[in-house]
């Protein structure tokens, strides 16, 4: 029994270590290249203003757009009753407009509430608009999980992390990484309906 427990612990540690390294590697590489669209994954907004995280994601999208990487930007993310009708995607659209992106070059998806819903909405938009290649923008640690969800949805994506926001202390970085390790593990185990998945999506590290 002790050997069995030891082997099981080694397997679990090996899996977590592999996922951690994959998340870290994806977070450190900008794979952006010419595509049909840029998709900005949602993060918190405060009374109609983007949070620092969403601000940084939108800035990255504007930079890619200005470089001619893609002709369209898709903003993703809904809102709750507490948001007075504001949505993450709507706030993102307003920010892009204020930064010179034309209205007809922005698609705002305002109904999704978590990463998986945002990917599913993006897949629907891609099919409708005939997008074959998409640059996805989010936090670096978020992109490994997004890439898996996009592959499952039949999307061909290039990951592009937002810029860092100052210095993240070691404890906060570990929390973010463990959030993604557990979320990715739950996803691979098809635990979407589990309490763990619901808890993880209710405590996102990327807001």
According to DSSP, the residues that pair with 39 across neighbouring strands are 74, 136
Q: In Å, how far are 56, 135, 170 from 166, measured between CA atoms?
A: 11, 24, 13
pLDDT band (50, 70, 90) for residue 17:
confident
Helices and strands: H and E segment counts in the chain: 7, 7
Distance of CA 195 to the CA centre of its chain: 21
pLDDT in tens, 139-176: 999 999 999 999 999 999 999 999 987 666 666 777 77
Position 59 pLDDT exceeds 80: yes
Q: What is the pTM of this model?
A: 0.82
Report whether CATH 1.10.150.130 matches the domain 19-166: no
């Amino acid at each position: 029994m002790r050997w069995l427990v030891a082997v099981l612990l080694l397997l679990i540690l090996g899996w977590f270590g592999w996922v951690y390294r994959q998340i870290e590697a994806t977070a450190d590489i900008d794979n952006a290249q010419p595509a049909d669209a840029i998709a900005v994954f949602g993060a918190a907004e405060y009374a109609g203003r983007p949070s620092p995280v969403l601000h940084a994601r939108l800035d990255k999208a504007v930079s890619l757009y200005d470089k001619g990487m893609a002709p369209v930007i898709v903003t993703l993310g809904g809102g709750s009753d507490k948001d007075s009708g504001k949505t993450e995607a709507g706030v993102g659209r307003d920010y892009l407009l204020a930064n010179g992106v034309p209205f007809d070059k922005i698609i705002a998806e305002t109904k999704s509430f978590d990463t998986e819903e945002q990917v599913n909405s993006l897949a629907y938009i891609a099919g409708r608009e005939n997008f074959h290649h998409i640059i996805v923008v989010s936090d670096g640690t978020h992109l490994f999980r997004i890439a898996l969800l996009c592959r499952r949805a039949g999307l061909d994506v290039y990951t592009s992390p937002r810029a860092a926001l100052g210095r993240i202390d070691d404890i906060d970085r570990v929390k973010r990484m463990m959030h993604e390790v557990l979320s990715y593990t739950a996803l691979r185990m098809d635990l979407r309906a589990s309490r763990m998945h619901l808890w993880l999506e209710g405590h996102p590290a990327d807001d």
